[in-house]
Amino acid sequence: MMTRSLFLFSALAAASASLAVAKPNFSGEWTVDVAKSDFGDMPAPGSMVMQIEHADPKIAVKQFQSGGPLGELKADLSFMTDGGETKNNVRGSAMVSSGKWSGDSLKINTKMAWDGNAVSIVETWKLTSGGKNLEIVRQIVNDQGASTMKLVFNKSDKK
C-alpha cells in the first residue's frame, strides 16, 4: 500500500510539473510591424524599435519612435514581473507601473497623468510565432474614453 501511495504521489508531482508554464524571455531588439499592428485611435509611427533586456523579475526597455504625427520619442523604461512597482517618466509625465505573470503572458498595469488627465494603461505582452514576434495588446482608459491597440513586433537578427 505504501509503494502504491508513493507511486501515485510521484505521478501527481510529475503531472503538476508538466503543467507549469515556462516564462518567456523578452530580451532582444524588436521592430514594430506597422502592417500587422492595429494602432486603434492613434496614428501609426514611421518606425518603432524596442531594445529589451529581460532578467526576471527585471525588464529594461529602450524605446525609439520616429515619424508620424507624434514625432520622435526616446524612452528608457523599467518594469518588474513580480508585482513590484517601478517609476518611469515619458515626455515629462510620471508613470507608476507594476507587472505580473499570467501564464506565459506578462500584464503590466500603468497609472499616469497626461496633460492633466488621469490615464490607465494595461499592456499584455506575449511571444508568438516561436519567439519571432512580440505582441503587445495595450488598453488605454482616460477621461475621453477607452481604446485598444495591438502592436506586433518582429525580432531582429541582431544580438
Domain residue spans of the chain:
24-155
The pTM of this model reads: 0.84
pLDDT on residue 155: 98
Task: Return the pLDDT at 71.
Answer: 81
> CA 79, CA 101: separation in Å to the nearest integer?
12
Spatial distance between the Cα atoms of 136 and 122, rounded to a whole number of angstroms: 10
Other C-beta atoms lying within 10 Å of the C-beta of residue 99: 22
C-alpha distance across the termini of the chain, in Å = 55
The domain 24-155 is placed in CATH, from the list 3.30.450.40, 1.20.120.160, 2.160.10.10, 2.40.128.20, at 2.40.128.20
Report DSSP state, residue 124.
E
Question: Is 90 exceeded by the pLDDT of residue 63?
Answer: yes
Tell me: the pLDDT tens digits for 10-36? Answer: 444 444 444 567 899 999 999 999 999
Out of 2-16, 32-46, 118-132, which region has the weakest mean confidence (pLDDT)? Answer: 2-16
Specify the amino acid at residue 157: D
Query: Are β-strands 93-102 and 47-55 bridged in parallel, bridged antiparallel, or unpaired?
Result: unpaired
